[in-house]
Amino acid sequence: MSIDTVALAEVSPEHSQPFAELGLKPDEYQQIRDILQRRPTSSELAMYSVMWSEHCSYKSSKVHLRQFGEKAPKTDALLVGIGENAGVVDIGAGWAVTFKVESHNHPSYVEPYQGAATGIGGIVRDIMSMGARPLAVMDPLRFGPADAPDTGRVLPGIVAGIGGYGNCLGLPNIGGEIVFDSSYIGNPLVNALCVGAMKHEDIHLASAKGVGNLVVLYGARTGGDGIGGVSVLASETFSDGGPTKRPSVQVGDPFMEKLLIEATLEVLQAGLVEGIQDLGGAGISCATSELASNGEGGMHVWLDRVLLRDETLSPEEILMSESQERMCAIVRPDRLPEFMERCAKWDVEAVVIGEVNASGRLTVDWHGERIVDVPPRTVAHEGPVYERPYHRPPWQDALQADTTDHLERPVTGPELRDTLLVMVAAPNLASKSWVTSQYDRYVQGNTVLAQPEDAGMIRIDESTGLGVAIATDCNGRFAKLDPYAGAQLALAEAYRNVAASGATPLAVTNCLNFGSPEDPEVMWQFAEATRGLADGCLLLGTPVTGGNVSFYNQTGATAILPTPVVGVLGVIADVATRTSMAWAGAGDRIYLLGDTNDEFGGSEWANHVHGHLGGLPPRVDLDRERALAEVLVAGSTSGLFVAAHDVSDGGVAQVLVEMALRAGTGATVLVPAALEPFVFMFAESTGRAVVVVSPSATGQLLDMCGQKGVPLVEIGVVSAAPELDFADLFCVSLDDLRREHERTLPELFG
């Protein structure tokens, strides 16, 4: 097999290269030739093509994502900002927390089990590469209709993959979302979030500092998995016709990842590492170019030293391979023996593949021949940037004009009771325990709250009780009706969920799932959503610490609902003060905080009962959200609340059902006189929460809400009876509610 070398490239400028097949546009290919002032070698072409792919370079989203930095609220909490593997937040007492959410959508459609499994593996390595011990994972998931045949193929595989990989790593799965909508058929969304913690002094960055330091590749051997997966798989749609581009997705080995975690934490804690980077999309190409670009600027790699699973791989394939469970560390020569010893202890293979230098070039040799000689910044950070054209879709006005006013509403007691039983069994509102019981939520012994609670909560410091809470949310229907408001509603909901658990919201991550950026209407949705999120984060004082963009989530011309998943992280000084959603003692008073309006645009009721999507989403008021969160946190910290639960999908009725089923006791419900019962039960007005206090604490609650300007109304009393009694309207037993709420997923997925 002949090798394409730099020397050869210099004397054969006319040699034709398959740049289009690798996903590069003609002008991008020309740009590479201009940078190198010759044609690229095939290895260089491989590197540029993966690193300049949408997935790695954010070329279509960059101009919009800048707002997250430009509009960032002033805060001292951010220790490491956007641009690193994951942002790092100061939570006090010398502790720092890092968290991030990433998509693994396309691989999970092609091969649900492995796609979802390797999604977990990748995000866990991102967290480790900041120097943190991974503590927990969460999975925001989106599927096609629950009863669609393809959902029956995709969902069980994805759930089994998340469980099969995550359970084996010893990381508790503490929450997430499962949402069904017809737009996701053919394009399930598999987002994976990981949170980790470290002491401030243990923060590490992906940079190759120190001339003469060694580049060590360790972990699994390099094989032929997912070659070109990043650029090809993640950047082309699954359209009918045309050449198919579906190379193999990666295969995960969670046992190897577990050993990699332990070995990595040992070498980090022993101070043996100068810089560290995980290998994910674009493999060695990405790791070496980013490390070099962030460090001294120069690196030499002996590519033939890479340990291989398949000896027949070409250098181009080795550079592009996305084999899982690999990391790259920058190690001082005098510390190398101890580094290798620690890896050997955990049966992790390691090999020196390169050296840091001051050449300003990334050079790669293959058996003595130079096959890559490039300025690393041009690969890693100076890729193309596009100002994609965008415009408001012509159908947007008609969609917003098609309100829910004409939809038939239940009025009588029996009608409302029937609607409630139908709603609690709706796939989007039904119990998700069929899924979450396949995940280990207990391992590590620090899980304070997990699904179905509003937020997942993890204890970080056993001696003080310091902990964090995380929630992820997004209602794609709201985002379709108004992408700007939809992104803010996602932010508001996650923010409220964290506050309802008793933690103070601190920082934001996101996973922006959209259709094709080459469609100006999709690009408008993306531009609006990012603008809305950036403005919202500024108002709430919660900076975006990092995130991920997933484009091309569409089948043919049909894009998914715009789905900007927002994750909010909060801090809690002592996890013992957290508040659960389960109410307890009979006689305790139930209050609804916030205003309820006749808002049904994009609601679950309109969706499930009428199959309708139109009108405007609920009005978002972030100042009100902030005031509400202050009440929720104060009421929790002071021990005033017996229980708290945020109000969102399905409205107050869904909240009361969930609180009752969690507690195993019912309540007498009072419909506020000013509200139509149907609106009270099912409207999805935002900025609301239900809290439960003992009768003696009601005065304190009224004072607290009065001070913050948060309206409240008493809506019931916890009872000892196993039923929800809606006074004059109807009464429904918890047994009936539980049966309906819990049967949906098992009946669909067995």
Q: Which residues bind other proteins (CB under 8 A)?
A: 160, 163-164, 167-170, 253-256, 258-259, 346-347, 436-448, 459, 462, 575-576
Phi and psi dihedrals of 470, rounded to 5? Answer: -140, 140
Q: How far is the CB of 458 from other proteins (least distance, A)?
A: 10
Q: How far is the CB of 340 from other proteins (least distance, A)?
A: 17
- Between 447 and 719, name the residue whose CB sits nearer to other proteins: 447
Q: How far is the CB of 506 from other proteins (least distance, A)?
A: 21
Residue in the structure block whose two tokens are 């933690």 = 503
Q: For the chain, what's the residue count?
A: 750
Q: Give the separation between CA 549 and CA 102, rounded to whole angstroms.
A: 8
Phi and psi dihedrals of 455, rounded to 5? Answer: -135, 155
Asked if residue 54 lies in contact with residue 552, where contact means CB atoms within 8 angstroms, the answer is yes
- Between 442 and 739, name the residue whose CB sits nearer to other proteins: 442
- For the question of residue 104 being annotated catalytic, the response is yes
Asked if residue 470 lies in contact with residue 174, where contact means CB atoms within 8 angstroms, the answer is yes
Q: How far is the CB of 172 from other proteins (least distance, A)?
A: 10
From the list 378, 624, 380, the residue with the least C-alpha distance to 499 is 624
Phi and psi dihedrals of 528, rounded to 5? Answer: -65, -45
Is the four-CA dihedral 354, 358, 362, 367 of positive or negative sign? negative
Question: For residue 145, which amino acid is it?
Answer: P
Asked if residue 444 lies in contact with residue 460, where contact means CB atoms within 8 angstroms, the answer is no
Q: How far is the CB of 125 from other proteins (least distance, A)?
A: 17
Helix axes 254-269, 112-128, angle to 10 degrees: 0
Q: Give the separation between CA 514 and CA 511, rounded to whole angstroms.
A: 10
- For the question of residue 15 being annotated catalytic, the response is no
The first and second tokens of residue 403, run together, are: 């309100």
Residue 633, number of CB atoms within 10 A of its CB: 22
- Between 458 and 522, name the residue whose CB sits nearer to other proteins: 458
Q: How far is the CB of 167 from other proteins (least distance, A)?
A: 6
Q: How far is the CB of 447 from other proteins (least distance, A)?
A: 6
- Between 347 and 598, name the residue whose CB sits nearer to other proteins: 347
The first and second tokens of residue 554, run together, are: 């569409």
- Between 121 and 532, name the residue whose CB sits nearer to other proteins: 121
For residue 537, the number of C-alpha atoms closer than 13 Å in the C-beta half-sphere is 30
Q: Which among 55, 608, 612, 741 is annotated as catalytic?
A: 55
Coil, strand or helix at 316: helix
Residue 398, number of CB atoms within 10 A of its CB: 10
Is the four-CA dihedral 50, 51, 55, 58 of positive or negative sign? negative
Is the four-CA dihedral 143, 148, 150, 151 of positive or negative sign? positive
For residue 188, the number of C-alpha atoms closer than 13 Å in the C-beta half-sphere is 34
- Between 448 and 620, name the residue whose CB sits nearer to other proteins: 448
Q: How far is the CB of 632 from other proteins (least distance, A)?
A: 20
- Between 604 and 658, name the residue whose CB sits nearer to other proteins: 658
Residues 6+ apart with CB under 8 A from 555: 185, 186, 187, 237, 238, 239
The first and second tokens of residue 168, run together, are: 């084996």
The first and second tokens of residue 336, run together, are: 């190398």
Per residue, the 3-state secondary structure of 1-19, as one string, reads CCCCCHHHHHHCCCCCCCC
- Between 100 and 133, name the residue whose CB sits nearer to other proteins: 133
The first and second tokens of residue 319, run together, are: 């550079």
Q: From edge to edge, which strands make up the β-sheet containing 667-669?
A: 643-646, 689-693, 589-593, 712-718, 667-669, 723-726, 730-733
Asked if residue 464 lies in contact with residue 93, where contact means CB atoms within 8 angstroms, the answer is yes
- Between 164 and 536, name the residue whose CB sits nearer to other proteins: 164
Q: Is the backbone of residue 127 left (phi > 0), alpha (psi -120 to 50) or beta?
A: alpha
Residue 431, number of CB atoms within 10 A of its CB: 20
- Between 333 and 442, name the residue whose CB sits nearer to other proteins: 442
Q: Which among 15, 64, 104, 300 is annotated as catalytic?
A: 104
DSSP 617-674: PPPP-HHHHHHHHHHHHHHHHTT--SEEEE--TTHHHHHHHHHHHHHT--EEE---TT
Q: How far is the CB of 165 from other proteins (least distance, A)?
A: 11
Across-strand partners of 645?
690
- Between 163 and 283, name the residue whose CB sits nearer to other proteins: 163
Catalytic machinery residues: 55, 104
